[in-house]
Amino acid sequence: MEQPYSPGYLNQLLRSDPEGFSRVADITPELATVAGPLSVGESSFSVVDIHWVTNALSPAPEGAFHRHDFVELQVVFLGTGRVLAPGRSEYFQPGTFSLTGPDMPHTWVPLRPPMALLIIWLMPDGRRNESFGTEEEIGDAGLLLTGNERLVFPLPAFAAAALDAMLELLPERTPETQAVIRQIFRAFFYSLLHVLRPSGGRTGRRRPEAGIFRLTDRLFLSRVDEYLQNNLHRNLSLEKIAAHFGISARTLGRRYLRSKGCTVWNTVVRMRMDRARTLLWNTPLSVAEIAVRCGYADGHYFSNCFRKHFGCPPGRTRYIARETASEDL
């Protein structure tokens, strides 16, 4: 028997039915397939992936920048925090969504967990599909998504209701409901573009070229990088990382090196060093505490690695940052 749509469906699951939410989270990636490609005026996008990030942000409250090859939308359902990008920091809370463009360095800093974010990855492409909007109504959709100067925006009430409806209908898996979901997703996307549109018109930045890439590798490697970023404080090894993704360490290493031009461990070290520097700049934590948060049990070894990476020891790095900040006051 068909169940009526209930406002606040996802919020109800998150707050009172963890098992129900877990079932919804498991099938959420199917929404990317059902949604299909999107076109607005001259801009076209593929929905690469849709998934949830929940309490994975909590163990490491401060983080270094990471980046994706996609446009990334993060819809906030639970928790508060800040989205950081070079020279920018904006507060997010339930009822907002954040936007980061391709190759934009960024990170999340949770302030009040638990966290529940719905992540949507969009890839600009050159295909032409049935358009559901015009450039006159929206402006340059590609530029809004890939070159917007802001990070956090209010989530329209319609968009929240649309997400509820789509994820409530998704388990039915019938052609009729999938057709309805596609129409709802287009309207959801359109409502976000209206929020992104600046009152003054254009964003003032050039749209980056999409380039030629392999979606499967890009998606997989972004998932690997996201896993690394959320687990830098743990005792990582190539074998453990590969086991998480159900492949051999050799396959992971070869695939990562071929696509990224560096090893997985090179990335782990870079992420850990960037996180350590961020903590030195922005927190009063001791060097030993920072070492532990960055996955180093031995503070002395951590200091040597930091000096080798940046050419300056941790203590000196913190002193220079504080001196620079005081001069700017």
Looking at residue 133, its pLDDT comes to 43
Alpha carbons 220 and 212: distance in angstroms, whole number: 16
For the range 28-33, what are the long-range contacts, defined as Cβ-Cβ under 8 Å and sequence gap of 24 or more? 28/52, 28/118, 28/167, 28/170, 30/170, 31/166, 31/167, 31/170, 31/181, 31/185, 32/121
Note the pLDDT of residue 97. Answer: 92
pTM: 0.59
DSSP per-residue letters across 143-206: HHHHS-S--EEEPPHHHHHHHHHHHHHGGG--HHHHHHHHHHHHHHHHHHHHHHS-TTS--SSP
pLDDT in tens, the chain (329 residues): 333 333 477 888 888 888 888 888 899 999 999 988 877 666 678 888 999 988 754 434 444 677 777 888 999 998 888 888 877 889 999 999 998 888 788 888 888 878 889 999 988 765 544 444 444 443 455 556 666 678 899 998 888 888 888 888 888 888 888 888 888 898 888 888 888 876 544 443 433 333 323 445 666 787 888 889 999 999 999 999 988 877 788 888 888 888 888 899 999 999 999 999 999 988 889 999 999 999 999 999 999 999 999 999 998 888 887 777 666 54
**Is there a contact between 153 and 196 (Cβ–Cβ < 8 Å)?**
yes
DSSP three-state, residue 263? coil
Question: Helical H runs in the chain?
Answer: 9-16, 18-27, 30-35, 135-138, 141-146, 157-169, 175-196, 215-230, 238-244, 249-260, 264-282, 287-293, 299-310, 314-328
How far apart CA 277 and CA 286 sit, in angstroms, is 12
Please tell me what DSSP assigns to residue 7: T
Domain ranges of the chain: 9-196, 231-328
Neighbours of 15 (CB within 10 A): 13
User: Tokens 């904006």 map to which residue?
Assistant: 90
Q: What pLDDT shows up at residue 264?
A: 93
79 and 21 Cβ atoms separated by less than 8 Å = no
C-alpha neighbours within 13 Å on the C-beta side of residue 315: 5
- The DSSP output letter for 126 is -
Query: What is the fold, at CATH topology level, of the domain defined by 9-196?
Result: Jelly Rolls (2.60.120)
CA–CA dist 198, 149 (Å, integer): 10
Superfamily of chain region 231-328: Homeodomain-like (1.10.10.60)
Q: Which residue has the tokens 């903590």?
A: 279
Quickly tell me which residue has 């980061």 as its tokens: 100
Instruction: Give the pLDDT confidence score for residue 5 in this predicted structure.
Output: 33
pLDDT of residue 65: 76
| Cβ–Cβ < 8 Å for 103, 22 | no
